[in-house]
Amino acid sequence: MRLTQFRELMEGEFGAVRASSLARDHVFAELGGRTVEQALEFGYDARDVWRAVCAAYDVPPGRQ
């Protein structure tokens, strides 16, 4: 998954403001205790980050 597609999914699911805040502020255990932004910078695949977000926020399978 490309980073641009990941950002589009985040904004589509949470809205631009909340997606940005969530990416900066929420620490995910599934991402090694990192935020979305930290995980992406660390080298995590965007698809894996998206899956962690979906699991944490109960995103329905049809929108994953």
Q: Given this model, what pLDDT does residue 64 score?
A: 83
Q: Given this model, what pLDDT does residue 52 score?
A: 97
How confident is the prediction along the chain (64 residues), in pLDDT tens digits per residue? 999 999 999 999 999 999 999 999 999 999 999 999 999 999 999 999 999 999 999 999 888 8
Q: Is 24 exposed, middle or buried (0-12, 13-18, 19+ CB in 10 A)?
A: exposed
Q: Given this model, what pLDDT does residue 62 score?
A: 85
This prediction's pTM: 0.91
Question: What percent of the chain is helix, strand and coil (3-state, nearest 5)?
Answer: 70, 5, 25
